Structure 1
Amino acid sequence: MTAMTPCLDRPGFLPRLSSHHLSRTRLSEPLLASPARVKLLCAPAGSGKSALLAECLLQAPAQCRVVWLALSGVALSRADFCLRLAEALELPAINETALLAHLARIQTPIWLFVDDYCRVPAPELDGLLDQLLAVSNPQITWWLSGRRRPHCNWPRLLLDDELHEFEGRTLALTAAEIEQLLHHLEAPLAAKTARRIFQRSGGWCAAVRIALLDGCQWAKDLNHPGRTATLLDYLQHELFSNLPAELIEAWQVLAHLPRFNASLCEHLFGAGEGARWMHELQLRGCFIEAWQESPDWLQVFAPLSRLMRDESWSGGRSWHRRACQWFCAQEDWQAAFEQALLAEEFEVAVSLLQHFNLEHLFRGQNAALLLRLHEQHGDDLMLGSPQLVGLVTAALLFAGRFEQASACIEQLERFAPQPSATLQRQLLARWQAQMGWLLHLQGRGESAREHFLEALAALGAEAWPARLLCLSGLTQQALLNADLEAAQALNREALCLARAHNSLLFEGLLELDHAQLLEQRGAAVRAESLLANIHELLSQEADPATPLLGRIALRRGRLALSQGHDEQAAEFFDSGLHACLRSQDKRVLFGFLGQAQLAANQGDYAQAFIRLRDAERLMQQRQIPDLVYRGVLLQLSSQFWLQQGRPELALEALSRVLRHYRRPNARQAPPATLELIPRIEYLLVLAEVQLGQVPHVQLEDLLDQARLHGMANLETELRLAQAELAWLAGDEATARVAWEKARELIARWHLQQALSDVSRRQPQLVRHLSDHAAKSESLRPISNENPLSLREREVLELIALGNSNQQIAEQLYISLHTVKTHARRIHGKLGVERRTQAVAKAKRLGIVG
């Protein structure tokens, strides 16, 4: 409720806004501009309804009379309501008929604010309100707020365009608005804290206010439990104190469930009672909302549901057991599995895993739940079938626990021989697929490839998920070996298989491989568009693919970073890091690396190294082998040391890492760090030259390899390094040539981060060559602006490389007809008739290199 105070320019007591009030014109302006006679705000407690009404009241026109009637949610009789409204209108005590007649006669504009309308069902009072609203006097504007929607003739008002309604979700604060409330913090910290407050609170005004009172501690630290006492006290006074005992218990039970409907409530609370209680909780505005916009399922508002789950619950096991029974009867195996775990019925939970496949590993918290089950109950309970062995192995590989995964794979021997030769071959093929992934993640490329190929040759059509993962492993092997053509063909085959089985989840997993391929080719914009599209599709699914969405967010953060979009990258890294931490994904490493790079971009190397240490500490706590993280941590550390002018540290670290990867029988770089080794090599060359040593590697050889394999991203970095080396050697002419070539690549592929890195290592070089390039540009004749679109330029560049139309269609994942259409448009825009003429003219114009 809003405090009241005398108002100097208007009679009576009117609401006073808090000193912490944030004006939200995105809400008040539509309300004030709406010609509707009735403005209705219906939302649970603490949603900011009264504050928004007060904000609108204070902007009422001078000639308009304003009346504020604060009802405090009390259930009034019709007579009492008439009396209260008459007093607010400064009328003598009158009956309903006289009140309705008075309202019909009003000749001057008046705004009637009815704040916090009756919170419990009150048919008679609602009937009176309906009569009052039916008085069609254009001079009267009704402003109503309440926790429940009164039973009035709203459809009639909607059809007559006389109702403007805001619901709870609309009233929620946005992350940007929360950031405005954190003006006492520095901008980067304020933005990060605001995002976390929004994640934890859903924008619910009361929770945001409590977070601010707490100094945002729980928002800064994801492991901080929050001011549970304050929130619980708030709930006690604003929710539970107005509910009968049976509804309080029902609400607490429902808050511990991920979703519910009338049928489940009937099963839990009894036939005839359950659905009625659920409906009454809805009517009373008890934070019951649609689950993922479903017309059939409901949930308790997520921040409050999390709060209740954090509290001890004495009767929880029996309720979860009953929910598990219902979900089993509905064959909703995912929900049944989760409820069995919460009921501590572990044998039941394991038995339900027979309905799971590899797709389930990337849904919700399944990976973390499987790992916890395996830790607590061991092999005897968890490895009772080849299918269970496969699930547990996949979870262990996902988390980076390679030794445990190896021991788990060996358990497949217990199920041999199978009853038939065919089944025995399938068991062996599954063993090879799992072993292939273990070897792949351990950097044993040749052995991994052999296992993948042999598994693919033997796996049956029904084992298509295993076939998909084998193709993904082979795709990553091709990427690690810089065979981009083979990687593209394998990725396309896998995507076709995923789509044939209508598996959006596996499609998303494979699109991550595709995005890595595009990133290596320098097409960061296309890769981002690809991942944005698959993220949107996955987000619309009922069961969230949380681990996969976390990986996609981290990859999008990397792409945004490479293009110089640091603020956007920070959001992606933050959300991806949070998701990967929850699911125990080893890829959480790249969230820390991204945040370290962002800190370095701000010149905050202390924070950058803190994030790298945080990453190393977490990897060690989770007992993840150092081959997963050591190389990339030292590579990024060395990059920062070179920027700080400490080449001796970089030389020592890079030499040690390179010896690890260049020794006999050395292992590959981790699959997620495709260009790790060439990056280490060129950074080592820079460190050696800065220290006056003879480089062990020739930069030209690395550049030739990058160009040969079409690795535009790496080529750009190497061109900049080439300019840097020439500059250090005093060869300005060579430095300019390399700089110009690098600038063309940066402009073509939007690779701003590469330029930022060299500018922090050699700021004088960048200033000097940039100034020289600008002067040279000013002397050139002005040419026409590039007439080609981004996609047309991509097609033309592939034409220039000698690709046929069919090859272009395959590389860009478009139809042959679309390629021909682009080609015709290119010819028309450039005024040519043949492919060769188009390429020649584009090169003269500087459109392609």
Structure 2
Amino acid sequence: MQHVARPRLLTLLEQGLRGPVTLVSAPAGSGKTTLLAEWAATAMKPVAWLSCEEAENDPARFLSSLTAALARVDARLDIAAQTERPWHPPEHEQVLTRLLNDLERVLQHDTVLILDDVHALTTEASQALLLFLLNHLPSRLHLLISTRVDPPRLARLRACNQIAELRSQELEFLSAEVKVFAQAMGLSLGSEAIRLLEERTEGWIAGIQLLTLALRGHNDATEVLRKIGMAPRFLLDYVREEILFQQPPEMQRFLLQTSVLERLTGPLCESVTAESGGQQKLASLLQANLFVSALDDTDTWYRYHPLFAETLRTLLQQQEPALVPELCRRASRWYEQHGWAEEACEYAYRASDLPHAAHLLAELVPSFVEQGKLVRLSRWLDRLPQEVIAASVYLSLALIWTQPLRTSQPPDPEGVIKHLTALLKTHEKDDPEAQAELQRELALQQATQALARGDIPQALSRAAEMTRSLTGPETTWSRFTLWRQRVLLGAAYHVSGDLLASEQTLRQALPAGGPSPNFVVIASLDELYEELGRLRELGRLYEDLFRTLAWHHHLPSLALSMAHQRYGVLLYEWNRLQEAESFAQQSLELVPHLDLARPSPWLTLLGLGVLARVALAQGNSERARQLLESEAFDVAQFPVPQASKDVLILLPVRLALRCGQLDPALQWASTCGLHSDDPLTSPLGKGRYAGYVTLARVLIARGRGHPNALALSQAQILLDHLLEISVGTGAHGRLIEIQMLRALALHAQGKSRQALATLGPILAQAEPEGYLRLFADEGEVMAHLLALIASFTTASPDYLQRIQAAIVPVWQAQPDAATQPAPRSTLYEPLSAREWDVLQLVAEGLSNQQIAEHLVLSLYTVKLHVKHLLAKLGATNRTQAVVRARALHILPSS
């Protein structure tokens, strides 16, 4: 095996030497021996090494080997135990006692005894000697144990905090270590290949080595790692010989047969294997470090290491191919009996029992649609014969709902109506409930079409028609139909401008029993709460959502990626930058795993957009520019309808403005088809609103520095129109943004007092909801206004200070501008001569009292000058003012 230095683990080993015992316990192939050898080669202490083998189960052999290893450290040790005369069991402990006493007497320095492969000691006699050694260690001897299986009876040492432990989690290779190892194996892998290699092996070094061997000779390692299904021959041989064949026949059989399961629990394993003792076997596998990990705190559910499980399944397929479908059929029955319909359906598919899979899938369709699992639903439908789908009303409906995932063409509403009409004729002799369901679906599709063309009364009428048809006892499908009707009504009320009615209806579509991963409704409420300006409510919605995710095991990656991205946007607004970055990163990590018929570059764009905004907020404009110039932001190349492109392009336009790049924004404004004097009608959809607000921002940026510019007048006209519409619908979130932009436009026109009077009330409204980056992202202009806002707002000083502190000055956000000395005219108001004198003394570190004495001024006058300095420099404290002044070359660099 190629060597990779692992200093973080060497540090952990050194820290463990502070106590008497260190245990390195991990599965086969985890790099335990290699790690100990690396540490021993550079150890500053004397090291004795004993590699335990099966022969050491003979107590005499164990004592002889142990004494010989220690004698290499200090030749004065008593070697009487190495005589050839046989030792009888009662004497073994006496011999070990004598050896330990000799060690206590002769060892003058701290010494380390490494016992490698202690799992080889399996007899009661050898384990008794090991326990005696652990309990009677000499004061200067530290014991370092390497094993695949924990030695028995370590509880006392743990309770007394006398044992340091390194387990498989610590030994797992990290991305950087995987990369170094691959290079040592002669492979130059890209970041995605490294990620896949780490993901497939979960840091198991033996698996990493064996997979890198399999990658040799392939030009595209990433593609091989994505598609590799059968475990490579090297891996099969390793698992078979080093792991599987080391187990008793009963355990070998258990491992192979339960490898078909993604998750394991005792009763399920017993049902699949038709043998008892499932929970005990799982517990013993966990204790033996046999690539099993517990999924909960109660040790009820477990899972195998993915690569280990895949290898076992390959071996099972080779040995007993006919048994595999039967094992999956048993798993399906067990899950169905215990109410786990989704898992039951999955294993019915794996058993190739398609009739039963179709039966189960028909029952699952409502929950799949509610939770946004359309990709999974579509994939399962694709595995069924067309005649099986056509025979079921519910699967036929599911085929209609998932059709957009199968083709690059936009949905054909008229085609859907024709299809439903044909289904009604085909199934006219079916049961009445199926007929009623088709009738309701037809009404729902007609309502959806009416909503799309803006005919709200027709949409509401059709939705009401659906409600009247929901008579009789409640069923899964009737509940599902009612849910879809509420989602439709929520959308209709939203489009009509009745935001409160929309919220009330959508809230009714959430489960009454508490939060659930109902992504369809959550996405609708996200847009609604953003428009209403109720960020706290939106935050609680996502907090509830992410709290429940751990309880759902088949979440749709598409919806999950969107949820992470949207929550990242909210966290960004609250200036929780690290959390926002983390959620955006998690969203991006899910994108490669999306099982879509078409690529989803827009998800990547949105995730990277959050990262770019975070980078700018942290002052890293170079990182933001790199992202903005990447292919991910080339919206023109996206395989999406033009209407979607028109909305997606707004993100790079806004980011370009933030980066000070006005030309791309002006180019967009000249071609977007939007104008400041367009007749706007209420209500205004999210996409059109975002387009017009972006146009207003471009006009303000274009007119800034030219108070009489036509662009500023155009911006004011446009913002006045948007304000009128938003007031009429109660869209307080939009009102906050619009009024802030009106204040910026007024300030750019030189109307500072009007700007402050406009901004002040909005800040007071924004504070309870935690708006922060909306204001801070406006930079120095906002800093200047906030320095003068106190008498115009009831917002708290603490809130204003937090916004000020979050503002990244232009000189920090755009480092390249530092190469062009900024004249004093970059300040909104130049410093007076006396203020410049005060600034110099502030830079020297003098206090206000010392400045007053130096300039022969009153303390009050100095404080007044300092206050003016902070306002003109857009700073919140003296230190920030000095840094700002140096960046503008008002003061010389330190």
Structure 2 CA distance for partners of 1:344 and 1:681, relative to 1, 3 Å: same
Partner of 1:142: 143
Partner of 2:24: 41
Structure 2 CA distance for partners of 1:117 and 1:296, relative to 1, 3 Å: same
Partner of 1:528: 539
SS at match of 1:149: coil
Structure 2 CA distance for partners of 1:750 and 1:434, relative to 1, 3 Å: same
SS at match of 2:691: helix
Q: Cα distance, 1:311 vs. partner?
A: 12
| Larger CA deviation: 312-321 vs 129-138 | 312-321
Q: Cα distance, 1:575 vs. partner?
A: 2.6
Partner of 1:349: 357
Match of 1:102 among 95, 99, 102: 99
Per-residue CA distance 1:50-78 (angstroms, 9 max, x = gap): 57767988999x8x865443448997544
* Letter matched to residue 668 of structure 2: A
Match of 2:586 among 562, 567, 575: 575
Per-residue CA distance 1:507-541 (angstroms, 9 max, x = gap): x6544444444333334355334313321222134
Structure 2 CA distance for partners of 1:456 and 1:284, relative to 1, 3 Å: same
Larger of the two Rg values belongs to structure: 2
8 Å CA contact retained: 2:757, 2:792:
no
* Letter matched to residue 664 of structure 2: R
Matched, 1:368 2:383: no
Match of 1:383 among 383, 387, 390: 390
Matched, 1:650 2:668: yes
SS at match of 2:117: strand
Structure 2 CA distance for partners of 1:545 and 1:105, relative to 1, 3 Å: farther
8 Å CA contact retained: 2:328, 2:348:
yes
Q: Which runs of 5+ in 1 are unaligned?
A: 4-17, 183-188, 760-765, 790-849
Matched, 1:86 2:67: yes
Partner of 2:292: 288
Q: Cα distance, 1:382 vs. partner?
A: 1.9
* Letter matched to residue 606 of structure 2: L
8 Å CA contact retained: 1:641, 1:650:
no
8 Å CA contact retained: 2:257, 2:327:
no
Partner of 2:464: 453
Rounded Cα–Cα distance in structure 1 between residues aligned with 2:125 and 2:776: 69
Per-residue CA distance 1:369-397 (angstroms, 9 max, x = gap): 43234446564222322222343344446
Partner of 2:568: 557
* Letter matched to residue 387 of structure 1: Y
Q: Cα distance, 1:486 vs. partner?
A: 1.5
Match of 1:639 among 650, 654, 679: 654
Partner of 1:703: 723
Per-residue CA distance 1:343-387 (angstroms, 9 max, x = gap): 544444323324424224577x96434323444656422232222
Partner of 2:808: none
8 Å CA contact retained: 2:451, 2:459:
yes
Structure 2 CA distance for partners of 1:439 and 1:171, relative to 1, 3 Å: farther
Matched, 1:358 2:369: no
Per-residue CA distance 1:703-755 (angstroms, 9 max, x = gap): 24334544343233323432443355454554455555666666554444434
* Letter matched to residue 473 of structure 1: L
Q: Which runs of 5+ in 2 are unaligned?
A: 72-76, 183-188, 704-709, 803-894
Matched, 1:117 2:118: yes
SS at match of 1:113: strand
Match of 1:592 among 588, 605, 609: 605
Rounded Cα–Cα distance in structure 2 between residues aligned with 1:180 and 1:749: 47
Rounded Cα–Cα distance in structure 1 between residues aligned with 2:309 and 2:153: 33
Give the 5 Å matches for 1:291-440.
291=295, 295-302=299-306, 304-305=308-309, 318-330=322-334, 331=336, 332-361=340-369, 367-375=374-382, 377=384, 379-396=386-403, 402-403=411-412, 409-410=420-421, 412-414=423-425, 417=428, 424-433=435-444, 436=447
Query: What is the TM-score when the length of structure 1 is the normalising length?
Result: 0.70
Rounded Cα–Cα distance in structure 1 between residues aligned with 2:393 and 2:329: 26
8 Å CA contact retained: 1:405, 1:438:
no
SS at match of 1:568: helix
SS at match of 1:698: helix
Rounded Cα–Cα distance in structure 2 between residues aligned with 1:397 and 1:268: 38
Matched, 1:69 2:82: no
Structure 2 CA distance for partners of 1:268 and 1:528, relative to 1, 3 Å: same
Matched, 1:468 2:472: no
Matched, 1:168 2:175: no
SS at match of 1:645: helix
8 Å CA contact retained: 1:439, 1:445:
yes
Rounded Cα–Cα distance in structure 1 between residues aligned with 2:650 and 2:799: 38
* Letter matched to residue 636 of structure 1: L
8 Å CA contact retained: 1:576, 1:588:
no
| Larger CA deviation: 526-535 vs 200-209 | 200-209
Per-residue CA distance 1:446-465 (angstroms, 9 max, x = gap): 65444433323433533223
Partner of 2:153: 153
Rounded Cα–Cα distance in structure 1 between residues aligned with 2:648 and 2:426: 41
* Letter matched to residue 225 of structure 2: P
SS at match of 1:285: coil
8 Å CA contact retained: 1:727, 1:735:
yes
Per-residue CA distance 1:280-304 (angstroms, 9 max, x = gap): 8656533122345663443221355
Rounded Cα–Cα distance in structure 1 between residues aligned with 2:573 and 2:328: 47
8 Å CA contact retained: 2:239, 2:308:
no
SS at match of 1:295: coil
Rounded Cα–Cα distance in structure 1 between residues aligned with 2:447 and 2:298: 41
Rounded Cα–Cα distance in structure 1 between residues aligned with 2:556 and 2:639: 23
Q: Cα distance, 1:120 vs. partner?
A: 8.6
Rounded Cα–Cα distance in structure 1 between residues aligned with 2:434 and 2:793: 72
Q: Cα distance, 1:86 vs. partner?
A: 1.4
Give the 5 Å matches for 1:605-684.
605=625, 607-608=627-628, 610=630, 612=632, 619-620=639-640, 627=643, 629-640=644-655, 643-655=661-673, 675-684=686-695
Structure 2 CA distance for partners of 1:361 and 1:78, relative to 1, 3 Å: farther
Structure 2 CA distance for partners of 1:474 and 1:531, relative to 1, 3 Å: same
Rounded Cα–Cα distance in structure 2 between residues aligned with 1:176 and 1:352: 45
* Letter matched to residue 103 of structure 1: L
* Letter matched to residue 402 of structure 1: P
| Larger CA deviation: 199-208 vs 565-574 | 199-208
Per-residue CA distance 1:142-165 (angstroms, 9 max, x = gap): 332212223x22345556665555
Give the 5 Å matches for 1:537-548.
537-544=548-555, 546-548=557-559
Rounded Cα–Cα distance in structure 1 between residues aligned with 2:794 and 2:363: 69
Match of 1:717 among 737, 753, 759: 737
Give the 5 Å matches for 1:183-202.
201-202=201-202
Q: Cα distance, 1:89 vs. partner?
A: 1.5
Q: Cα distance, 1:597 vs. partner?
A: 5.0
SS at match of 1:69: strand
8 Å CA contact retained: 2:605, 2:632:
yes
Partner of 2:840: none
Rounded Cα–Cα distance in structure 1 between residues aligned with 2:787 and 2:756: 12
Rounded Cα–Cα distance in structure 1 between residues aligned with 2:675 and 2:350: 45
